Amino acid sequence: LEVLKEYPGDGLHVDTLLDSDSHGALTYNDFLILPGSITFPASDVSLETRVTRRFTIKAPLLSSPMDTVTEHSMAIHMALLGGLGVIHNNCPPDEQAEMVRKVKRYENGFIQDPIVLSPETTVGEAKELKTKWGFGGFPVTEKGTLHSKLLGIVTSRDIQFHKNHEDPVTAVMATDLVTAPAGTTLAEANEVLRSSKKGKLPIVDKDGSLISLLSRSDLMKNIHYPLASKLPSKQLLCAAAISTHDADKVRLQKLVDAGLDIVVVDSSQGHSVFQIAMIKYIKQTFPDIDVIGGNIVTREQAAALIAAGADGLRIGMGSGSACITQEVMAAGRPQAAAVRSVSAFAARFGVPTIADGGVQNLGHIVKGLALGASAVMMGSLLAGTTESPGEYFMSSEGQLVKAFRGMGSIAVMEDKSKSGAGKNAGASRYFSENDKVKVAQGVAGSVIDRGSITQYVPYLVAGVQHSLQDIGVQNLDALREGVNSGTVRFEMRS
C-alpha cells in the first residue's frame, strides 16, 4: 500500500473521459468503469431514485412510450417490480385513458371508488365487467352506488358456472359478509382480511352503507411485490405520453380524470415553442401532475424546458436501436456525452433525468446511471416480453418473436388505424403530420421472445446491484457523488 502511493490514481476522471476535444463525443460502448473495493453484499445495494421532482421509484427502469412496448400490462408490471411504464399515445384518447384506469385500479389500499352493482344487474353483465377489469369481486348495494346500503358481494366463483345470464346478481351473491366500520385503519383492515380469509372487506358506516372496499389480492400483491412503485393511497404509479399538439389538451384531461400521476410530453426534439407552451399549460392547469419533457441532448435545450416548468427530462436523440434520426437528420448527440452534459446541468435545479435510448444491455444501464441519469428508459430490451403489446409469431429462422418498431418508422407514421381521426402519434412526434412525403426516422422489425418481465426486470435489478458492488458504492447517490468527486474512475476502451 505504501508503494501504491507513489503512483497517480488509475483511470480517468469523468470530465477527462468526456472531453470531446480530446476523445470526441462518446457512446456507452466507448468506455468502462473501473472497479472499486467490495465491502458489502450486493443485496445491500439500494437503487431507489427520483424519476421526477416529487416521485421516487425503487428500480431506475422505465419502459418507453412506444406502441410495441408499453400499454397497461407493461405499465402495471413495471410498477409492481419497482420501475415505471409510460403508456404510449398512438391510440384514441379514450383508449389511452382506459389503460390508465386499469393501472390505477390494479392495486389499492382502501378502494375509494369500487365498481358497485345494483340488485338489477344481471349475471351476464357482471361477467362482462369481470372480463373488462380483470377481477370479479363486486359489492352490491340497494342503489348500485357507493354510500348506499350494502346487500352482498358477487365473486368470480358465484358467476363462473351460473348458466342463466339473465338472472339478477342477487340470486348468486354472497350475503354472509365480514365488514369493518368506518375509521378502521389499513393495518387493522388487513388483519381482519387475514383472519376472516375472505376475498373482500367492505368498509361500512353506522347505517350499513358502503363507503370503501379492501381486497385480499391487493394484500398479497404487497407481499409479492415489495418494491412496487405506489402512492400513499397504495395505487400503482402511472405515467402516459401526450404530444405537443393543442388537441392533446383534451387527451390530457381524460388521462387526469382516469388518475394519471406523470405526463410525458413526447417529441423527438423537445426544444420547441410547442413543447414549452404545453409544459406551461400543464403546470398551470394541473399543478398536481408532474411533467417530463424531452427529448433533448444539450444544456441549452434543458434550460428551456426547466424554465418552462419540467419536473423531469428525457435525454436522447437518435440513439435508440429503432431510431435513425442521427443518420437521416444529421442531428443528435452520442448518448454518453448527452447524458453527462444534461444531467450535470439539470442537477443544479433539482430536476431528475432519464437516459432514453442506446441501452442494449445491462452494462449500458449502469453507465447511464453513472453519468448522472436518475433512471434509464428501455424500448427494444422490453419489446419481446410477454407484457409488451402484440402477438408472438414465428420468424423465418424458426424463432419466436414479437414485432418492434420505432415511432418514427414509416410503418407507424402511415398507420391511421390507431389514433383515430386520421391523427398519428408517430407523425406528430416527429413534426411530420402535415407532410405529403414522410421521411423515416425509425425502423421496424422484430425482437426475440424474452419471456415475462416478472423474471427479466428482477434480473436487470440484480445485475445493476452487482455492478454497483463491483464499483464499490451502495446506492445511486453514492455512485454519482463518486463520479463527480473522482473516486469512481473510468477508462477508454478500444
Residue 107 is predicted with a pLDDT of 67
pLDDT digits (tens, 9 = 90+) for 169-205: 898 888 888 899 988 887 788 888 888 878 888 999 9
- Whether 194 and 256 share a structural domain: no
101 with 154, same domain: the answer is no
The answer on 361 and 268 residing in a single domain is yes
Q: Domain check: are 58 and 181 in the same one?
A: no
CATH of the domain at 165: 3.10.580.10
Cα(138)–Cα(210) distance, rounded to whole angstroms? 12
The answer to whether residues 101 and 139 belong to one domain is: no
- Smallest CA-to-CA distance from 356 within 368, 366, 367 is with 368
Strands 262-265, 239-242: pairing kind: parallel
- Binding positions for K(+): 318, 320, 323
Stretch among 99-108, 140-149, 288-297, 312-321 having the lowest mean pLDDT: 312-321
Q: Residue 340's closest CA among 306, 369, 301?
A: 369
Number of folded domains that form the chain: 2
Residues 352, 475 within the same domain? yes
> Residue 89, preceding bond cis, omega within 30 degrees?
no
Residue 323 annotated among the catalytic residues of the structure: yes
In a domain, 333, yes or no: yes
What does the block give as the cell for 463? 445485475
Question: Is 152 found in the same domain as 95?
Answer: no
Cα 44 from Cα 47, distance rounded (Å): 10
pLDDT-derived band at 323 (thresholds 50, 70, 90) equals low
Q: List the Cα angle 478/484/485 in 5-degree steps.
A: 85
Which pLDDT score, from 0 to 100, does residue 205 have?
Answer: 92
* Spatial CA neighbour of 261 closest among 305, 223, 231, 222: 231
- CB contact set of 269 (below 8 Å; sequence gap of 6+): 295, 317, 331, 431
Cα dihedral sign, 237-241-242-243:
positive
Same domain, 191 and 319: no
Residue 315 covered by a domain: yes
Marked catalytic residue, from 238, 251, 314, 323: 323
Q: What is the pTM of this model?
A: 0.78
- Residue 269: which of 352, 338, 321, 336 has the closest Cα? 338
Residue 488: phi and psi, rounded to 5, are: -95, 120
pLDDT of 443 higher than 60: no
**257 touches 97 (CB < 8 A):** yes
Range of lowest pLDDT (71-85, 246-260, 352-366, 422-436): 422-436
User: Does residue 429 have an active-site annotation?
Assistant: yes
CATH number at residue 257: 3.20.20.70
- Other CB atoms closer than 10 Å to residue 445's CB: what's the count? 15
The residue-averaged pLDDT of 453-463 equals 95
Which tens digit of pLDDT belongs to each residue from 459-475?
999 999 999 999 999 99
Q: Kindly tell me if the per-residue pLDDT of 440 is higher than 50.
A: no
Q: Are 52 and 292 in contact (CB under 8 A)?
A: yes
φ, ψ of residue 32 to 5 degrees: the values are -130, 160
Residues 293 and 374 reside in one and the same domain: yes
Last residue of a domain, one of 215, 240, 259: 215
- Structural domain harbouring 72: 29-105+228-392+451-492
Max CA-CA distance within the chain? 87
Given 156, 188, 215, the domain boundary residue is: 215
What is the share, in percent, of the chain residues with pLDDT greater than 70? 88
All three cell numbers of 447: 425482437
Where is pLDDT greater, at 238 or 163? 238
pLDDT band for 225, please (50, 70, 90 cuts). confident
Asked if residue 151 and residue 99 are part of one domain, the reply reads no
- Residues 148, 239 within the same domain: no
Q: Active site residue: 429, 450, 480, 489, which one?
A: 429
One-letter amino acid for residue 253 of the chain: Q
Do 373 and 355 contact (CB within 8 A), yes or no? yes
Comparison of pLDDT for 219 and 71, the residue scoring more: 71
pLDDT at 449 over 70: yes
pLDDT greater than 60 at residue 419? no
Residue ranges at the known binding site: 266-268, 316-318, 320, 323
Residue 186 lies in a domain: yes
Residues 333 and 232 in one domain: yes
CB 240 within 8 A of CB 65: yes
Evaluate if residue 135 carries a pLDDT over 80.
no
Measured CA to CA, the distance from residue 56 to residue 138 in angstroms comes to: 32
Task: Note whether residue 167 is domain-resident.
Answer: yes
Q: Is residue 430 part of a domain?
A: no
Q: Do 63 and 378 meet the contact criterion of CB atoms below 8 Å apart?
A: yes
Residue 19 belongs to a domain: no
Residue 403 within a domain:
no
